[in-house]
A and B are shown apart, each in its own frame.
Chain A
Amino acid sequence: MMMQKLRRSGELIRYGSKSLINLRPNKDSLSRSVSGFVNHYETKGKHFESNVGNYNTELHHGCLGRNLGMLQQYKCFGSSSASKIQRNPLFSSLDSKDVSYFKEILGDRNVVEDEERLETANTDWMQKYKGSSKLMLLPKNTEEVSQILQYCDSRRLAVVPQGGNTGLVGGSVPVFDEVIINVGLMNKVLAFDEVSGVLVCEAGCILENLATFLDTKGFIMPLDLGAKGSCHIGGNVSTNAGGLRLIRYGSLHGTVLGLEAVTANGNVLDMLGTLRKDNTGYDLKHLFIGSEGSLGIVTKVSILTQPKLSSVNLAFIACKDYLSCQKLLVEAKRNLGEILSAYEFLDNNSMDLVLNHLDGVRNPVSSTENFYILIETTGSDETNDREKLEAFLLKSLEKGLVSDGVIAQDINQASSFWRIREGITEALQKAGAVYKYDLSLPVEEIYNIVNDLRGRLGDLANVMGYGHLGDGNLHLNISAAEYNDKLLGLIEPYVYEWTSKHRGSISAEHGLGVMKANEIFYSKTPETVAIMASIKKLLDPKGILNPYKVLPHSLFSH
C-alpha cells in the first residue's frame, strides 16, 4: 500500500497542470521593407522568374484596416493595437453539401459538428488563439485524408491540420472558419525493427504512447518534451520539435527517416523510407519537417529510435555567472561527451518564480546563486557513468566553475529537479502577464540579451532567461503585473532586432504559426522567403493548407 502511495506521489512531479491564459500581444507590423523581392531574383547570372507573381509583395499591415469583407480580430490580448488578419475572400464557406460529402467518405461519427468538441479544437493550448471552425474531420487512413483534401482543394475550402493541439504559436487552430483535420484516429504502430530500431507508425500516434510501446522493446524515442502526453508524432514532425534530448540525438531532420504526406490536391507522397542513407535526388521529406502543416498533411512517419540505456544520472548545479555556465558546457561536452544527454539552464529570477508559484518545490542547493544548470547523463554503466559525472563535477567545483550542486540519488529526486526546469512555464502563467520569446543565439550571446533587456525595462518587468543552453536555445520571458503597450513597445521589435543582429533565430523550436508569420524576415532573407513562397505555391496552389500561418500574410493577400 504505502509503496503504491509513494510511487504515486512521485508521478505528479513531472507534469504541471495546463497553463491558463497566455496573453501575449502581437506586433502587427514589421518595419523592414521587402517590397518587390518576390518577383525576380538572380542567382549566378541566371535569371529566374518566380511563379508567385500574383502574391502581393508588400507587407500587409492589418491595422491599416482595409474594410473589405470579413475582418476578424483573432488576437486581442495585451495590446490595444491587436493585429487583424483578413479572411481570404477566395476561400469558400462550408455548406451542408460539403458536410454530407464528408459524412459519405468518413461516416457520421468522424465528422464532428458538436459545439463542445469544436470549442476545444478551436482553442489552442495556451487559450490564446481561438478560431471559429464549424467542422472537424477525423480521417482513419491516408486514403480518407487524400479524399478530404482533394475535395477541399476543388471547393477552395481552407483547412487546418491539427495534431495534439499543444503548439505554442497558434498554428494548430483555425484563424477563421478553416475545416479542422485531425489525424488522431490514425494511431497505429505499423512496424518496428528491433535490429535497426526503426519505427514506422501513423501520424496520429501520441508521443508518450510510442514511448510506452518502445519501452517494452527496450528502446526510446529520440525526442522528449513536456507535452508528450498529448502531442502527436505527426505534430512533432510538422513543428520539427526540439525538446530535451536534442543535444544527444539531434533534430528530427536527422532522426526521421521517411514520411508519407498528402499534398493539398490529395496527392499521396510516399517517402516512407526506412534507410539511413539514401542520396537519390532531392530529399523532399525535409520540406514537411517543420513546415507546420502548410505544405501537406503528414500521415505516416518512419523514425530512428534509440536503445534504452539503463543508467541515467542528473545533477543540479549552481554557477555564479553566465560565463561559468558557458565554460562548464564546453567542459561537459569534452568530459562527458558520449553520455551527456541534457544541458539545461535557468537564471535565479526563474528559480524565484518557480519557488514562489509552485507548491512543493524547493531549491536543491542550499545557497542562492545567479544561475542553475541541469546536467543529465545517459549511458550503459551505472557505476562508471556516475563516477564520471562525479569526477567531472568535483573537478569543476575545485576550478570554481561550479559553486555548489547536488546529484540525484534516486528517480524521485531527479523528477523534482526536472520539475523546477519544466515548471517554469506554469509558474510564468501564474505570475501574471507574460511576453514569451523562443530564440536561438550563439551560446556566448545568450545571456546578453537578457541583461540588455533588463537594463531597458528597469522596474517595469521581471526579465527571465532559461532554456536548452546545450542547443543554444534561450526561452526569454518577460513577466509583468499586466499587459501594457508601453512595455510591449520597449520589447518589440527590440528583441527581434537584437536577435537578427546577432544572426540568431526568432523561433528556435516553436515555429512561426500565426504568431510570428510576419516576423520571418528577422531570421530569413527575402530571397529565401521568396523560394519558400514558391514552394508553397507549387504544393498548394490555392493556399488552402493552414492559411495565414508560417509565411507573411502579405505574400498571400489578394
Chain B
Amino acid sequence: MKILVAVKRVVDYAVKIRVKPDKTGVDTQNVKMSMNPFCEIALEEALRIKEAGFAKEVVAVSIGPSQCVDTLRTGLAMGADRGIHVETSSSFLPLTIAKILKSIAEVENPELIFLGKQAIDDDCNQTGQMVAALLGWPQATFASKVVLDKEKHVATVDREVDGGLETLCVDLPAVITTDLRLNQPRYASLPNIMKAKSKPIKKMTVQDLKVDIKSDIEILEVTEPPKRKSGVMVSSVDELIEKLRNEAHVV
C-alpha cells in the first residue's frame, strides 16, 4: 500500500504575522517558513502506518515555489520515501490545490491520502474535503486516531467534533485529514537527514498535470484584525453589571 501526504510550506507558526503595507497579502520576505504543523502530524501518521507494516511507501507532495524543496527535505528526513514538488510561483486556493492533488493521485494510485486538517496560514480547512470529493473517495476529517484493517480494507477513524468524538469506518482508498492530538511528530535525526539526501524529489509543473488553474476567487484586500481596545477598570460590581448590560449587551 502506498500513502500520499500533502505537506505545505507556511509562515512558521511562532512568527508574528505582518500584513503587507499594500494589503495584497501577508509579508513573507525574510520570514521563517516551516512545514504546516498539521501536515507534520499527517506525515507522522503515515510513517507510523508504514512502520507498523501496513504500508510500503510514503510519498510527500508539496505545491509551491522552489523553496518547497526544503519542506520536502524535512519530510524526507522525517522518513518519507520520496517527494514530489509541483513547482509554481503563484499561490493557489484550495480548489486548485485539490485538483492538482487529484491528478497526482491518479498517477500514483495511493490507497490513503493524508492531509492536515487545515494550513495555519489561510485556515481554509477545505483541501482534504475537496480532494475526496473530486476523487469520489470517502473522507474522514479531524482525525485524532487512525486504525487500519488491512484485510477488510477499511480505516477506523476517531474524529474530533464539537462536544466529543465521532468514530467512522471508511473504505479504502480514502482521504484522512489530521487534527492536533493525533500524534506527536518525530524530529529529524542526523542519520535520517543524511539518508534524506539521497532520496529523490520529482519536479512537476501544473502544465504536466494538465490542471486548470483558473480561479474563480479574487482576493480584494488583506487587512490586520482590528486592534483590541484596552480594558477599563470598573469601580464596583454594579458598574460592571451595568456595562455588561448596556455597553456589551451580554447580560
B and A form one assembly:
yes
Q: Does A221 have its Cβ within 8 Å of any Cβ on chain B? A: no
Q: Does A412 have its Cβ within 8 Å of any Cβ on chain B? A: yes
From A156-164, A324-332, A402-410, the one touching the partner chain is: A402-410
Q: Are B13 and A6 in contact (CB under 8 A)?
A: yes
Give the nearest-CB partner of B15 in chain A: A411
Give the nearest-CB partner of A2 in chain B: B118
Chain B nearest CB, measured from A381 CB (Å): 11
Q: Are B35 and A409 in contact (CB under 8 A)?
A: yes
Give the nearest-CB partner of A397 in chain B: B190
Query: Which of A2, A7, A310, A394 interacts with B14 by CB under 8 Å?
Result: A7
From B26-34, B80-88, B209-217, B231-239, the one touching the partner chain is: B26-34
Q: Are A406 and B190 in contact (CB under 8 A)?
A: yes
Q: Are B193 and A394 in contact (CB under 8 A)?
A: yes
Q: Are B31 and A310 in contact (CB under 8 A)?
A: yes
Residues from chain B with Cβ under 8 Å of A410 in the complex: 12-14, 32, 34-35, 37
Q: Are A365 and B189 in contact (CB under 8 A)?
A: yes
Chain B nearest CB, measured from A131 CB (Å): 32
Q: Are B34 and A409 in contact (CB under 8 A)?
A: yes
Q: Does B188 have its Cβ within 8 Å of any Cβ on chain A? A: yes
Which of B15, B31, B67, B193 has most chain A Cβ within 10 Å? B193
Q: Are A411 and B34 in contact (CB under 8 A)?
A: yes
Chain B nearest CB, measured from A255 CB (Å): 24
Q: Does A247 have its Cβ within 8 Å of any Cβ on chain B? A: no
Q: Does B194 have its Cβ within 8 Å of any Cβ on chain A? A: yes
Q: Which of B166-215 contact A (CB under 8 A)?
A: 180, 184, 187-191, 193-194
Give the interface SS of chain B, mostly helix, strand, loop or mixed.
Answer: loop
Give the nearest-CB partner of A318 in chain B: B190
Give the nearest-CB partner of A315 in chain B: B190
Q: Does A393 have its Cβ within 8 Å of any Cβ on chain B? A: yes
Tell me the complex Cα distance, A22–B70, Å: 45
Tell me the complex Cα distance, A3–B118, Å: 9
Residues from chain A with Cβ under 8 Å of B180 in the complex: 2, 5-6
Q: Are B13 and A10 in contact (CB under 8 A)?
A: yes
Q: Are B190 and A404 in contact (CB under 8 A)?
A: yes
Q: Does B95 have its Cβ within 8 Å of any Cβ on chain A? A: no
A310-B31, A409-B34 as given contacts; A397 in contact with B120, CB under 8 Å: no
Q: Are B13 and A406 in contact (CB under 8 A)?
A: no
Q: Does A141 have its Cβ within 8 Å of any Cβ on chain B? A: no
Which of A7, A365, A386 has most chain B Cβ within 10 Å? A7
Query: Which of A5, A310, A366, A382 interacts with B189 by CB under 8 Å?
Result: A366
Q: Does B74 have its Cβ within 8 Å of any Cβ on chain A? A: yes
Tell me the complex Cα distance, A393–B148, Å: 38
Interface flags for B133-154 (1: CB within 8 Å of A; 0: not) read 0000000000000000000000
Tell me the complex Cα distance, A1–B120, Å: 9
Tell me the complex Cα distance, A366–B189, Å: 9
Tell me the complex Cα distance, A397–B191, Å: 8
Q: Does A390 have its Cβ within 8 Å of any Cβ on chain B? A: yes
Q: Are A409 and B187 in contact (CB under 8 A)?
A: yes
Q: Does B22 have its Cβ within 8 Å of any Cβ on chain A? A: no
Give the nearest-CB partner of A11 in chain B: B14
Query: Which of B32, B70, B74, B190 interacts with A383 by CB under 8 Å?
Result: B70
Q: Are B12 and A406 in contact (CB under 8 A)?
A: no
Residues from chain A with Cβ under 8 Å of B77 in the complex: 409
A404-B190, A410-B14 as given contacts; A310 in contact with B120, CB under 8 Å: no
Q: Does A415 have its Cβ within 8 Å of any Cβ on chain B? A: yes
Give the nearest-CB partner of B184 in chain A: A362
Q: Does A500 have its Cβ within 8 Å of any Cβ on chain B? A: no
Residues from chain A with Cβ under 8 Å of B189 in the complex: 365-366, 404-406
Q: Does B224 have its Cβ within 8 Å of any Cβ on chain A? A: no
Residues from chain B with Cβ under 8 Å of A5 in the complex: 180
Q: Are B194 and A394 in contact (CB under 8 A)?
A: yes
Residues from chain A with Cβ under 8 Å of B74 in the complex: 409
Tell me the complex Cα distance, A409–B77, Å: 10
Q: Does B247 have its Cβ within 8 Å of any Cβ on chain A? A: no
Q: Does B123 have its Cβ within 8 Å of any Cβ on chain A? A: yes
Give the nearest-CB partner of B29 in chain A: A310
Can you give 15 A-B contacts (C-beta < 8 A)?
A: A2-B117, A3-B13, A3-B121, A5-B180, A10-B13, A386-B70, A394-B193, A397-B194, A404-B189, A406-B190, A407-B187, A409-B35, A410-B34, A410-B35, A411-B14
Q: Which 8 A-B pairs have the closest CB atoms?
A: A410-B34, A411-B14, A406-B187, A3-B120, A310-B30, A405-B190, A409-B74, A411-B12
Interface on B for A, CB 8 Å cutoff? 12-15, 30-32, 34-35, 37, 40, 67, 70, 74, 77, 117-118, 120-121, 123, 180, 184, 187-191, 193-194
Given contacts A382-B70, A411-B15, could you give 14 more A-B pairs where the C-beta distance is less than 8 Å? A2-B118, A3-B118, A3-B121, A3-B123, A5-B180, A7-B120, A310-B32, A382-B32, A394-B194, A404-B189, A406-B187, A409-B187, A410-B32, A410-B35
